[in-house]
């Protein structure tokens, strides 16, 4: 007789494909995930939300006590009926209802406060992970794939969220109910308790015996659905390719194969879980029969009352759910712990070294000087002992072939990476000692990979500076001819650019990136191939406006193209990481060196 | 009013009607599930009666009767469990069959949809149609069969059994069951909106993370770290708040149901107890009645959830219908019959998008075997022009002819085999380099693949790789530079020996020397192939026989082999002065 209420089976509407595939390299990068240490740390994190976690503990206890007392009061009510004690019946009947009311309130508080604890913990984990990603050295992102990081912070966070919000509270209250019930049962009648518990080892043994198979089946269904999702997203992205080569039938056949795999592995998993469900029911019935027969025998010998026996039947039924849940939760517990371990690994990744972060506020009065500076990614020097000076107000061009070290040089000037030899100073102070963000406020970069955020063109231009006025942007747009580049857009600068600027052409993306830098009116402008995708006519308009704009500003222009070279007054030529030439445009052209050759190749038409 | 309610009830089962198409050959499974559900439910409800009878036997100190009933409990439970297996497994079988067939159907339609269909969709949206929406309707079908139908039988038979015990118990049942259904429904309705927001914030979290990580250099370059952190924190905070709202609803409604159950059980206990107390009747029936109540109530409260499932399923089916409708589906018409020559002719071709005229009555022709350049400003419709040739779109007016045949009268597969395109953005599929090059011609021999790679100037690079042509590319494979990808794509396009090769700005990341070498090879090794090179880079024009310029929707001949400029007055090759690479 089951008085314990199951509640809604919580079934989330979010079905996230948990792709458990090629994360191995990244996991290796972070080293072994310490599941046990993560658990302790997670518990500490959860208890740091003191008020809510205190409420959870109290209400779990109250719920469990009330939950174990009502079968007893039901039993005592039945005893009162049998002993013709109407006052007793009313008393225990009302007690029975009161216990339900107590449970209602304590469960209500428990639901809310346990969710608070769980979700505050998740929020803080996610916030801390993202926060740390802003501090780690940039080379970290070269080692760890974007997809991996996103999946850790969202997917793993979600698995943890589900575990902490829904499963953990259920299991904790289930276990505490079992523990308190068994104590009461032993107190009431230890012999009948032993009979009542006979079915439990069978239940636990059976459940845990099939767990490995359940888990294997589960992973099978996840893997096959992940294969479907992966195949789909690849094919949707490649739809143009599929059509161009008429590969529609072939692609559909491949998909159908994956779909069939998924069908089979689902059916396999369902067969097992359906059998499991049916067998559990029979074990439960066997347990009840044992209590009834044993109780009946003892009753005849006067050892037990009917009410107590009825209470025992209820207790027995209440053990089944927590045990079944416990076994099911174990799988999600394991994956939640691996997940939280990985999130901690992201949180713990060391940020940039303190001596590189610097502490002196930056100022730019005289010059930036690079002396005998080298940089290497591994064995070979990407930059080999370069010296140059960038006086305030000068316009420097850095040219050379692909792979000559131009972008590395700009990364060093941007203070994205540290040198491995020599020095970079600003007004005589070592760049390392300069506080990074104050230094970067002097500079605005136009990077080679222009990154655009979701939102409008205008949003992307102002980015983190909401103080920049609309008029400023519009004025700039007109004077540089950007308005013509965006003329075809439906809402001008307010047009939404789509996921990472998908709706834009490469040239338009570059235009946004240039505007973003210029609108900040920086002292130093660092541009890396800023106009490579912009058509020559628009480029000329930009150049004309730029030469006016640059008055009084410092320019570092990196390019392997020559269309913008007229902007600079000093050119540095790099080749294989070394500075091979330096001088003015005409001088370099006349000297017939690397620069002239580079120029020659590209003009030979 | 009542007919309205009736309609609503029917509407709940709408997804079932939709699903019949996909399970038509497995109807027998459906009948089996329904029959098994009836037997299993009756057997299950019979167990409480047996428990009650056992209690009565104990009261009467009838040990034999007790043994009899105890054994019967196990037997009846076993029968119920066996049929329950049929219900569970059978409904999963139907649900999985449904989603398997439907998913195949959706995919078959999806790959045949025209290009304009994909333009209005995001990848994520299409993905969710083929996974989540199908899942939602499958979920409803499975739960209807394994839960809703058994629950309905349970209510009917439960009521019947209670009536045989005592009509007051039955009355309490009739009052409390609808209340529980109602509470369950209200809860699911209210909770659903919050889940939707949670899903929304979760998606936003994903997007923000992705942008943040990919944009790290930009973010640091502009010192926007704090800005980004606070943006993300406000999203995680909204997510948190929604979760707490859900918890408040769960806290109330989820616990209200046991309270209703407890109330009903108390009424039965006190009323039934009191009447058996005065009549000295057995307590067995009372125990049985309470047991029936507690058996039925969890299933009853799940009806509310099923109604919401049905709403989700209907919404999902509506979106799926967009995909499996015949709208936007291309007719591929496999078959032969290609025109003999590869002369291309554009006659008065116009194309607009929305209100914007992109191509305005364009007329020009390219003769077979020519190497033609098409240049023009950023976003002037160069790619549109190319897309028209492959019939990714059709022109609003005018016609395009190949070998004198209007391309609209050619089967699409024939047309697309004749014309091969290398687009601006290269897609390589996960797999080996060899598989990628041979994508359009899976039967190609290694020699053919190698010679295509030679012409595309990528073979030397591939041979430096450890595993050569068997090197994996894509997410699991090696990272290729933009230029390397573009050259592989060129090899892929020329392997099928198309009559027309279109390079749509597809050498932008290849360095100028390699690029020129590649064009030289294409020109010398693939004689007779018409090449259309679309680009604004001047260096790419060296091998062009003629160069056209696209501007404001019309086309002009810039120069031809003899170096002659046309009469339109455009005398300058774009980017000539001081801009040799542009």
- Least confident piece of the model among B66-75, B145-154, B563-572: B563-572
Question: Smallest Cα–Cα separation from B375: which of B489, B508, B494?
Answer: B508
Q: How distant is the Cα of B176 from the closest Cα of chain A, in angstroms?
A: 15
Residue B582 clears pLDDT 60, i.e. is over it: no
Q: How distant is the Cα of A238 from the closest Cα of chain B, in angstroms?
A: 6
Residue B68 clears pLDDT 70, i.e. is over it: yes
Nearest beta carbon to residue B89 from set A82, A116, A271: A271
pLDDT: which is higher, A129 or B135: A129
Please give the interface size between A and B, counted as residue pairs whose CB atoms are below 8 Å apart: 464
Is the CB of B302 less than 8 angstroms away from the CB of A278? no
Range A352-373 average pLDDT: 88
Same domain, A446 and A591: yes
CATH code of the domain in which A499 resides: 3.40.50.300
pLDDT of residue A326: 76
pLDDT: which is higher, A129 or B476: A129
Q: Is residue A225 within 8 Å of residue A17, measured between CB atoms? A: yes
DSSP code at position B144: I
Q: What is the distance between the alpha carbons of residues A232 and A309, in angstroms, rounded to a whole number?
A: 58
In this structure, chain A runs to a length of: 605
Is the CB of B429 less than 8 angstroms away from the CB of A295? no
Tens of pLDDT, residues B13-45: 888 888 888 887 888 999 999 999 999 999 989
Q: Which residues of B touch A508 (CB under 8 A)?
A: 378-379
Give the CA distances from residue B339 to residues B50, B402, B409, B419, B421, in Å, rounded to whole numbers and listed in that order.
Answer: 83, 7, 11, 12, 19
pLDDT of residue B566: 42
Is the CB of B93 less than 8 angstroms away from the CB of A14? no
Question: Smallest Cα–Cα separation from B301: which of B243, B265, B259, B247?
Answer: B259
Q: Is residue A230 within 8 Å of residue A274, measured between CB atoms? A: no
Is the CB of A244 less than 8 angstroms away from the CB of B224? no
Residue B275 clears pLDDT 70, i.e. is over it: yes
Pick from B208, B273, B278 the residue to mutate for testing the A interface (most A CBs within 10 Å).
B273
Nearest beta carbon to residue A237 from set B85, B123, B217: B123
Tens of pLDDT, residues A320-344: 777 777 777 776 787 788 889 889 9
Question: Smallest Cα–Cα separation from B251: which of A314, A56, A319, A123?
Answer: A56
Highest mean pLDDT among A176-180, A181-185, B418-422: B418-422
Same domain, A167 and A205: no
Residues with Cβ < 8 Å from A458, sequence gap 6 or more?
A470, A473, A493, A494
Is the CB of A267 less than 8 angstroms away from the CB of B92? yes
Write B356-360 long-range contacts (CB < 8 A, 24+).
Answer: B356/A488, B357/B553, B358/B384, B358/B553, B359/B384, B359/B385, B359/B388, B359/B395, B359/B553, B360/B552, B360/B553, B360/B554
Question: Smallest Cα–Cα separation from A505: which of B380, B165, B162, B399?
Answer: B380
Handedness of CA A208, A212, A213, A214 (dihedral sign): positive
Cα of first residue to Cα of last residue in chain A, in angstroms, is 93
Query: At B3, is the pLDDT very low, low, confident or very high (cuts 50, 70, 90)?
Result: low
Same domain, A161 and A245: no
What residue segments make up the domains of chain B, in order of their start? 2-324, 344-560
Q: Which residues of B touch A123 (CB under 8 A)?
A: 236-237, 239-240
3-state secondary structure of A547: helix
Ordered strands of the A381-391 beta sheet: A381-391, A367-376, A421-426, A429-430
Q: Which residues of A touch B131 (CB under 8 A)?
A: 15, 17, 225, 228-229, 232
Phi, psi (degrees; rounded to nearest 5) at A544: -60, -45
3-state secondary structure B440-473: CCCCCCHHHHHHHHHHCCCHHHHHHCCCHHHCEE
Q: How distant is the Cα of B4 from the closest Cα of chain A, in angstroms?
A: 28
Would you put residue A428 in left (φ > 0), alpha (ψ -120 to 50) or beta? Answer: left
Q: What percent of chain A has pLDDT over 90?
A: 32
The boundaries of the domain holding residue A435 are 395-403+429-603
pLDDT of residue A93: 92
Residue A318 in domain = no
Q: How distant is the Cα of B396 from the closest Cα of chain A, in angstroms?
A: 19
Residue B339 clears pLDDT 50, i.e. is over it: yes
Q: Is residue B499 within 8 Å of residue B342, measured between CB atoms? A: yes
Task: Output the CA torsion B496→B498→B503→B507 (10° steps).
Answer: 40
Tens of pLDDT, residues B350-399: 998 777 788 888 899 998 889 999 988 766 788 888 889 988 888 999 99
Query: At A291, is the pLDDT very low, low, confident or very high (cuts 50, 70, 90)?
Result: confident
pLDDT of residue A10: 34
Q: Which residues of A touch B250 (CB under 8 A)?
A: 8, 111, 115
Residue A22 in domain = no
Residue burial B163-197, b: 16+ Cβ < 10 Å; e: rest: eebbeebbebbeebbeebbebbbebbeebeebbeb
Nearest beta carbon to residue B257 from set A5, A259, A534: A5
Residue A362 in domain = no
- Could you give the number of structural domains in chain A? 3
Residue A514 clears pLDDT 80, i.e. is over it: yes
The CATH code of the domain at B344-560 is: 3.40.50.300
Is the CB of B442 less than 8 angstroms away from the CB of A250? yes
Q: 10 Å Cβ neighbour count for A240?
A: 17
Q: 10 Å Cβ neighbour count for B51?
A: 24
Residue burial A134-158, b: 16+ Cβ < 10 Å; e: rest: bebbeebbeebbeebbbbbbbbbbb
Is the CB of A246 less than 8 angstroms away from the CB of B332? yes
Q: Is residue B565 within 8 Å of residue B558, measured between CB atoms? A: yes
Range B203-223 average pLDDT: 87
Is the CB of B283 less than 8 angstroms away from the CB of A453? no
pLDDT of residue B296: 83
Would you put residue B20 in left (φ > 0), alpha (ψ -120 to 50) or beta? Answer: alpha
Residues with Cβ < 8 Å from A399, sequence gap 6 or more?
A406, A558, A559, A560, A562, A565, A571, A572, A573, A574, A595, A598
Residue A416 in domain = no
pLDDT: which is higher, B379 or A569: A569
Query: How high does pLDDT run on average in chain B?
Result: 84
Q: Say what the ipTM of the complex is.
A: 0.83
Q: What is the distance between the alpha carbons of residues B548 and B560, in angstroms, rounded to a whole number?
A: 9
3-state secondary structure of A398: strand
Q: Is residue B93 within 8 Å of residue A266, measured between CB atoms? A: no
pLDDT of residue B298: 75
Is the CB of A252 less than 8 angstroms away from the CB of B107? yes
Nearest beta carbon to residue B221 from set A78, A123, A445: A445
Range A207-220 average pLDDT: 84
Is the CB of B58 less than 8 angstroms away from the CB of A299? yes
pLDDT of residue A373: 92
The CATH code of the domain at B2-324 is: 1.20.1560.10
Range B134-144 average pLDDT: 89
Burial (CB count <10 Å: 0-12, 13-18, 19+), residue B10: exposed
Is the CB of B100 less than 8 angstroms away from the CB of A260? yes
Is the CB of B255 less than 8 angstroms away from the CB of A104? yes
Same domain, A444 and A532: yes
Same domain, A56 and A202: no
Same domain, A272 and A135: no
* Cα of A119 vs its chain's centroid, Å: 15
Pick from B209, B280, B411, B486 the residue to mutate for testing the A interface (most A CBs within 10 Å).
B209
Q: 10 Å Cβ neighbour count for A352?
A: 18
pLDDT of residue B203: 85
- Crossing angle of helices B167-214 and B225-249, rounded to 10°: 180
3-state secondary structure of B265: helix
Q: 10 Å Cβ neighbour count for B42?
A: 19
pLDDT of residue B478: 72
Q: Which residues of A touch B93 (CB under 8 A)?
A: 267, 270
Q: What is the distance between the alpha carbons of residues A300 and A308, in angstroms, rounded to a whole number?
A: 14
pLDDT of residue A363: 87
pLDDT of residue B337: 65
Residue A470 clears pLDDT 70, i.e. is over it: yes
Query: How high does pLDDT run on average in chain A?
Result: 84
Question: Smallest Cα–Cα separation from A461: which of A512, A423, A504?
Answer: A512
DSSP code at position A466: T
Is the CB of B209 less than 8 angstroms away from the CB of A150? yes
Question: Smallest Cα–Cα separation from B171: which of B258, B288, B264?
Answer: B264
Q: What is the distance between the alpha carbons of residues A200 and A320, in angstroms, rounded to a whole number?
A: 8
Q: What is the distance between the alpha carbons of residues A243 and A238, in angstroms, rounded to a whole number?
A: 9
Residue A510 clears pLDDT 60, i.e. is over it: yes
Residue A375 in domain = no
Residue A240 clears pLDDT 70, i.e. is over it: yes
Q: How distant is the Cα of B367 from the closest Cα of chain A, in angstroms?
A: 22
Range B109-133 average pLDDT: 80
Residues with Cβ < 8 Å from A66, sequence gap 6 or more?
A99, A100, A102, A103, A106
pLDDT of residue B570: 37
Tens of pLDDT, residues A34-88: 777 888 999 999 999 999 999 999 999 998 888 888 888 888 998 898 888 889 9
Q: Is residue B469 within 8 Å of residue B516, measured between CB atoms? A: no
Tens of pLDDT, residues A10-35: 333 333 333 334 455 666 677 666 77
Is the CB of A232 less than 8 angstroms away from the CB of B127? yes
Query: At B278, is the pLDDT very low, low, confident or very high (cuts 50, 70, 90)?
Result: confident
Range B115-125 average pLDDT: 76
Range A251-276 average pLDDT: 92
Same domain, A226 and A297: yes
Tens of pLDDT, residues B517-546: 888 888 888 888 899 998 877 666 777 889
- Least confident piece of the model among A38-42, A209-213, B71-75: A209-213
Q: Which residues of B touch A300 (CB under 8 A)?
A: 61, 63
Query: At A260, is the pLDDT very low, low, confident or very high (cuts 50, 70, 90)?
Result: very high
pLDDT of residue B540: 60
Q: Is residue A140 within 8 Å of residue A352, measured between CB atoms? A: no
Tens of pLDDT, residues A112-149: 999 999 999 999 999 999 999 999 988 888 778 787 88
Would you put residue A299 in left (φ > 0), alpha (ψ -120 to 50) or beta? Answer: alpha
Instruction: Say what the pTM is.
Output: 0.77
Residue B2 clears pLDDT 60, i.e. is over it: no
């Amino acid at each position: 007789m089951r008085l314990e209420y199951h509640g809604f089976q919580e079934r989330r509407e979010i079905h996230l494909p948990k792709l458990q595939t090629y994360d191995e390299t990244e996991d290796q990068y972070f080293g072994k995930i310490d599941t046990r240490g993560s658990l302790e740390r997670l518990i500490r994190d959860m208890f740091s939300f003191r008020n809510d976690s205190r409420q959870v503990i109290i209400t779990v206890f109250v719920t469990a006590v009330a939950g174990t007392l009502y079968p007893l009061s039901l039993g005592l009510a039945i005893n009162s009926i049998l002993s013709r004690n109407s006052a007793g019946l009313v008393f225990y009947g009302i007690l029975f209802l009161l216990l339900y009311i107590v449970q209602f309130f304590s469960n209500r508080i428990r639901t809310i406060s346990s969710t608070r604890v769980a979700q505050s913990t998740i929020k803080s984990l996610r916030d801390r992970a993202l926060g740390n990603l802003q501090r780690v050295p940039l080379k970290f992102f070269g080692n760890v794939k974007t997809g991996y990081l996103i999946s850790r912070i969202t997917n793993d966070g979600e698995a943890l969220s589900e575990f902490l919000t829904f499963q953990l509270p259920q299991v904790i209250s289930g276990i505490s109910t079992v523990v308190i019930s068994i104590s009461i049962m032993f107190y009431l009648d230890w012999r009948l308790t032993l009979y009542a518990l006979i079915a439990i080892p069978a239940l636990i043994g059976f459940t845990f015996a099939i767990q490995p198979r359940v888990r294997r089946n589960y992973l099978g269904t996840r893997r096959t659905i992940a294969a479907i999702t992966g195949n789909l997203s690849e094919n949707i992205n490649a739809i143009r390719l599929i059509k161009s080569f008429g590969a529609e039938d072939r692609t559909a056949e491949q998909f159908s194969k994956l779909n069939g795999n998924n069908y089979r592995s689902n059916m396999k998993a369902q067969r097992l879980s359906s059998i499991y469900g049916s067998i559990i029911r029979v074990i439960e019935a066997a347990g009840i029969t044992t209590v009834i027969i044993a109780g009946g025998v003892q009753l005849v010998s006067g050892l037990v009352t009917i009410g107590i026996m009825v209470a025992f039947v209820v207790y027995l039924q209440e053990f089944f759910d927590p045990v079944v849940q416990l076994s099911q939760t174990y799988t999600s517990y394991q994956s939640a712990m691996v997940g939280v371990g990985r999130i901690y690994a992201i949180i713990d990744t060391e940020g940039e070294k303190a001596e590189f972060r610097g502490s002196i506020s930056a100022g730019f009065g005289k010059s930036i000087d690079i002396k005998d500076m080298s940089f290497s990614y591994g064995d070979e020097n990407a930059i080999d002992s370069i010296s140059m000076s960038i006086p305030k107000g000068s316009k420097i061009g850095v040219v050379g072939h692909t792979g000559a070290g131009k972008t590395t040089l700009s990364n060093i000037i941007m203070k994205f990476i540290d040198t491995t030899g020599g020095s970079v100073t600003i007004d005589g102070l070592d760049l390392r000692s300069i506080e990074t963000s104050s230094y970067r406020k002097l500079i605005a970069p136009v990077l080679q990979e222009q990154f655009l955020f979701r939102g409008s063109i205008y949003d992307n231009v102002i980015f983190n500076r909401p103080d920049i006025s609309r008029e400023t942007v519009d004025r700039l747009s007109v004077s540089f001819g950007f308005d013509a580049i965006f003329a075809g857009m439906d809402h001008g600068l307010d047009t939404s650019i789509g996921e990472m600027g998908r709706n834009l052409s490469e040239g338009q993306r570059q235009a946004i990136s240039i505007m973003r830098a210029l609108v900040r009116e920086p002292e130093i402008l660092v541009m890396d191939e800023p106009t490579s995708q912009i058509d020559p006519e628009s480029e000329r308009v930009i150049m004309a406006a730029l030469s006016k704009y640059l008055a009084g500003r410092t320019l570092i222009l990196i390019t392997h193209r020559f269309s913008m070279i007229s902007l600079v007054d000093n050119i540095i030529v790099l080749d294989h990481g070394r500075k091979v030439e330096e001088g003015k445009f005409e001088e370099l052209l006349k000297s017939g060196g690397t620069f002239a050759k580079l120029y020659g190749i590209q003009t030979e038409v | 009013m009542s007919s309205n309610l009736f309609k609503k009830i029917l509407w709940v089962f709408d997804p079932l009607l939709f699903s019949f198409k996909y399970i038509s050959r497995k109807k027998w499974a459906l009948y089996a599930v329904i029959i098994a559900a009836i037997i299993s439910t009756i057997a299950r409800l019979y167990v409480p009666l047996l428990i009650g009878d056992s209690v009565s036997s104990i009261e009467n100190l009838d040990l034999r009767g007790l043994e009899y009933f105890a054994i019967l409990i196990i037997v009846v439970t076993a029968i119920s469990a066996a049929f329950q297996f049929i219900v569970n497994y059978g409904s999963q079988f139907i649900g999985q069959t449904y989603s398997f067939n439907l998913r195949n159907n959706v995919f078959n339609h999806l790959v045949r949809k025209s290009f304009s269909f994909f333009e209005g969709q995001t990848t994520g949206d299409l993905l969710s149609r083929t996974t989540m929406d199908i899942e939602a309707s499958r979920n409803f079908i499975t739960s209807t069969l394994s839960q809703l139908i058994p629950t309905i039988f349970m209510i009917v038979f439960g009521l019947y059994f209670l009536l045989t015990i005592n009509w007051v118990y039955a009355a309490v049942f009739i009052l409390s069951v609808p209340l529980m259904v109602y509470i369950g429904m209200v809860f699911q309705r209210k909770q659903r909106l919050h889940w939707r927001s949670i899903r929304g914030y979760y998606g936003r979290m994903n997007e923000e993370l992705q942008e943040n990580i990919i944009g790290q250099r930009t973010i640091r370059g502009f010192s926007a770290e704090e800005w980004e952190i606070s943006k993300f924190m406000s999203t995680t905070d909204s997510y948190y708040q929604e979760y707490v709202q859900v918890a408040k609803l769960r806290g109330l409604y989820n616990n209200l149901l046991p309270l209703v159950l407890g109330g009903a059980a108390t009424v039965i206990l006190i009323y039934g107890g009191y009447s058996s107390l005065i009549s000295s009747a057995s307590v067995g029936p009372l125990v049985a009645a309470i047991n029936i109540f507690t058996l039925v109530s969890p299933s009853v409260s799940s009806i509310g959830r099923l109604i919401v499932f049905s709403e989700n399923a209907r919404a999902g089916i509506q979106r799926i219908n967009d995909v499996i409708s015949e709208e936007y589906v291309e007719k591929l018409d496999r078959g032969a019959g290609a025109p003999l020559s590869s002369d291309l002719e554009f006659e008065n071709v116009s194309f607009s998008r929305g209100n914007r005229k992109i191509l305005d009555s364009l007329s020009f022709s390219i003769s077979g075997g020519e190497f033609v350049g098409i240049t023009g400003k950023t976003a002037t419709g160069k790619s549109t022009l190319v897309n028209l040739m492959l019939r990714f779109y059709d022109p609003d007016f005018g016609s395009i002819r190949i070998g004198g045949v209007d391309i609209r009268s050619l089967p699409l597969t024939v047309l697309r085999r004749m014309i091969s395109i290398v687009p601006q953005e290269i897609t390589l599929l996960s797999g080996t380099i060899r598989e990628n090059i041979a994508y359009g011609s899976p039967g190609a021999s290694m020699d053919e693949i190698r010679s295509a790679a030679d012409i595309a100037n990528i073979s030397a690079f591939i041979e430096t790789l450890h595993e050569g042509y068997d090197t994996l590319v894509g997410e699991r494979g090696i990272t290729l530079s933009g230029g390397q990808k573009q050259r592989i794509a060129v090899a892929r396009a020329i392997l099928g020996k198309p009559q027309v090769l279109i390079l749509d700005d597809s050498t932008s990341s290849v360095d100028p020397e390699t690029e020129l070498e590649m064009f030289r090879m294409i020109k010398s090794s693939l004689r007779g192939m018409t090449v259309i090179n679309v680009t604004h880079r001047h260096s790419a024009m060296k091998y062009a026989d003629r160069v056209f310029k696209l501007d404001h929707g019309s086309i002009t001949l810039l120069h031809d082999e003899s170096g002659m400029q046309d009469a339109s007055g455009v005398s300058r090759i774009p980017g000539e002065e001081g801009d040799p690479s542009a």
